[in-house]
A = this chain, B = another copy of it.
Amino acid sequence: IRSGFAEVIYCSGKTQQHLLQIFSRIYEQEGEVLGTRASIEQYELLLNEFPNVEYDSVSRIIKIERKDKKHIGKIAVCTAGTADIPVAEEASQTAEFFGAKVERIYDVGVSGIHRLFSRLDVIQSANCVVAVAGMEGALASVLGGVVDKPVIAVPTSVGYGANLNGLSALLTMINSCANGIAVVNIDNGYGAGYIATQINKLGAGNEE
């Protein structure tokens, strides 16, 4: 496949018929299949047809995954708060599905910055860092300042009022004065996990 990875299903808003059809097609072609933003109802629908389907209610990822998968390299997925974990899990599980090793470093935002510094070793040893943060999104800047690998920043819609449903965090991250940061859409854990996997693959090349 041109894009290097199998097609992924964005389940949100798909009709039952449409979802079943595309899920089946990819499963047949690839022997495994990944869906994001799936609801419980969609899980129950697919479970009827595919008893081996797995669903994680935090990340809302649904999948059938080959079991013999090797996980290479290292991606560090960090969050500012606990409310950012669903987005982070979407990133982490996407990356794992595509064969990356993932380290989770959650709840290390700037209001408790010592927690971040106590985990710096593992963060700095990754090929790529994913920074997931809502509200003011300052975590990405702090990470950009202390690691020399690419940081993929994911603004989340966590917060209220002038957070503008995540737009404020997005602007924070886009304007970061730290080096080596690029940004994906609000709550787009999937997109971050995908590009982080591409980067990690480059770094882990000789492992394969």
Contact = CB atoms under 8 A, between A and B. Distances in A.
A168 B12 CA distance: 19
B150 A161 contact: no
Interface residues of A, number: 76
Which of the listed residues A169, A183, A203 has the most CB atoms from chain B within 10 Å of its own CB? A183
Contact of A177 (B109, B186, B198): B109
Interface string A33-56: 000000000000000000000000
B14 A82 contact: yes
A186 B174 CA distance: 9
A177 B136 CA distance: 7
Nearest to A83: B13
Contact of A172 (B4, B136, B194): B136
Interface of A: 2-5, 8, 12-14, 18, 80-83, 109-113, 127, 135-138, 141-142, 144-150, 152, 155, 157-188, 191-192, 194-195, 198-199, 202-203, 205-206
Given A160-B185, A167-B171, A203-B203, 20 more contacts: A2-B147, A3-B147, A5-B179, A109-B177, A110-B144, A111-B141, A111-B145, A135-B177, A138-B141, A138-B142, A152-B182, A161-B186, A162-B186, A163-B175, A168-B171, A168-B172, A170-B174, A172-B172, A175-B185, A199-B199
